[in-house]
Amino acid sequence: MSDFKIAILPGDGTGREVAIEATRILDVVQSKTNYGFEKISIPCGGQHYKETGEEWAEGSFEICRDEADAIYLGAIGYPGARLPNGDLAGGSVILGMRSGLDLYANVRPIKLYEGVPHKVHGHFTQIWKPGMVDMTVLRENTEGLYHSLLRRSADRALGRKEYVPPEMTFPGLDGEVAYDPRPISEKGTERLVRMGFEFAKNRNGAPIDGVSRISCIDKSNVTRGCQLFRRVFDSVSTEYPSIEVDHGYIDAFMQWLTRTPEFYDVVVASNMFGDIATDLGAVLQGGMGMAASGNVGDEHAFFEPVHGSAPKHAGQNKVNPIASINSIQMMFDWLGRKHGEEDLVNIATMIDQSVAEHLKDGKSLTYDLGGTATCSQVGESISNILGRKLNEL
């Protein structure tokens, strides 16, 4: 019997609803295997802030850091919930953990399952068939354009004095000037890029040709930070001669990602570029309801659907829980690899297969995929399929 402590942070809005479906998966695995999960529920987010004056209770960050084996987060964001300094209320949860737990890679798989229509409309609507979109984007998660917000959020989470970026003057600009420094470091880039090459080694290559390929997406024709990013990428690439190397500028990449997603296998990008590119990527996999992610460091990790709290859909049991379920799927894979527990990795594969079977069947889809099923109906269907698979383990 192996027990894992899992911190569950439902957060705001629909985050709370999809967290129930994530938990259902943990419960099914617990009931059918020798694995036990101690769930530590942590209320947090913008609504919690409005109700209590705190983004999360004091000591919550420490529970995530010192007690939890893995962390799940639903979504953060509540209408009008801002801190006195103007930052997003709940930011110390999502951004505080990214920075404070040194989760340097935001891992975002983009895969189109059979039975799911992608969301590129028009003449070529059905051009992207399942199997033609299957890549993983690794977004740098601790620096870049998010640097000062990440630092402030971690400082709040840790009860430290808030970081204030150095004052600067900008020749040629008069009056009030707002700016966000975008530091990109050699170390931060190297560890992300290295993880990207390791991912490429363990995947099956790009859909178009089966070649293991890694694409470095930057704007090195313009920014110094991107020049460093690309230089570090090129230098690490010499250690992985079996992996084909590709370069692209972020603006052109937006075209190629839409036109030929089957070319891409693993993509590495700096923080804000990765944020933007993965929302476009979600379109290719059927929308935000399908987009899962893991914020991963060497010691810790937290898993969250890429979508936000979607306040306008909250309380209606209607959103797609698959992004959330697939985030739990990533958690099983990560826990299994970290602890050398092959069964956990196999369970992760089974969760993926259960999602695939559910979608292929096509009978119970949420509104975003053209159906009328509820969030909980989809969650129940997938966990029932998983339960049957686990019986055979």
By CB under 6 A, tell whether 154 contacts ligand IPM: no
Q: At residue 114, what are phi and psi to the nearest 5 degrees?
A: -60, 135
CB of 279 to Mg ion, least distance (A): 6
Q: Copy the structure tokens of residue 367.
A: 């509104």
Q: Please give the residues from 308 up to 337 whose contact with ligand IPM meets the rule CB under 6 A.
A: 308
| DSSP-assigned states of every residue in 56-81 | B-TTHHHIIIII-SEEEEEE---TT-
Neighbour order of strands in the sheet with 292-296: 35-41, 2-11, 70-75, 301-305, 292-296, 105-111, 134-140, 266-269, 213-218, 244-249
Cβ(75)–Cβ(15) below 8 Å: yes
For residue 289, CA distances in Å to 101, 105, 294, 325, 327 come to: 26, 21, 15, 10, 11
State which residue, 149 or 245, has the beta carbon closest to ligand IPM: 149
Shortest separation between residue 288's beta carbon and ligand IPM, angstroms: 10
Residue 69 binds which one of Mg ion, ligand IPM, none, with CB within 5 to 8 A depending on kind?
none
Reduce the DSSP state of residue 341 to 3 states and report it. Answer: coil
Shortest distance, position 275 Cβ to ligand IPM, whole Å: 5
Question: Is residue 9 within the footprint of ligand IPM (CB under 6 A)?
Answer: no
Q: How far is the CB of 141 from Mg ion (least distance, A)?
A: 11
Establish if 103 lies at the interface with ligand IPM (CB under 6 A): no
What residue type is assigned to position 350 of the chain?
M
Minimal CB distance to ligand IPM: which residue? Answer: 275
Q: How far is CA 138 from the centre of its chain?
A: 9
Residues in region 343-372 near ligand IPM by CB under 6 A: none
Pick between residue 15 and residue 336 the one whose CB is nearest to ligand IPM. Answer: 15
Distance from C-alpha of 248 to C-alpha of 250, rounded to nearest angstrom? 6
Footprint of ligand IPM on 41-100 (CB under 6 A): 94
Which among 97, 81, 83, 124 has a CA at the least distance from the CA of 9?
A: 97
Q: Which is nearer to ligand IPM, 46 or 225 (CB)?
A: 46
Comparison of 137 and 206: residue with beta carbon closer to ligand IPM? 137
Query: Rounded CA gap, 134 and 185, in Å?
Result: 29
Tokens of 313: 């859909």
Whether 71 and 136 have beta carbons less than 8 Å apart is answered as no
The size of the interface with ligand IPM (CB under 6 A), counted in residues, is 4
Give 96 or 379: the residue with its C-beta nearer to ligand IPM.
96
| CB of residue 100 to ligand IPM, shortest distance in Å | 15
Q: Among 21, 55, 275, 368, indicate the residue that binds ligand IPM (CB under 6 A).
A: 275
Positions in 226-245 near ligand IPM (CB under 6 A): none
Residue 143 binding ligand IPM, by CB under 6 A: no
What's the min distance (Å) between Cβ of 54 and ligand IPM?
A: 19
| Closer Cβ to ligand IPM, 308 or 311, answer by number | 308
Task: Kindly state the greatest CA–CA separation across the chain.
Answer: 69
Residue 306 engages ligand IPM in binding (rule: CB under 6 A): yes
368 binds, among ligand IPM, Mg ion, none (CB under 5 to 8 A by kind): none
110 binds, among ligand IPM, Mg ion, none (CB under 5 to 8 A by kind): none
Give me the residues that bind Mg ion (CB under 5 A), please: 275
Cα distances (Å, whole numbers) of residue 368 to 118, 120, 285, 304, 313: 11, 13, 12, 19, 11
Chain residues that interact with ligand IPM, rule: CB under 6 A:
94, 275, 306, 308
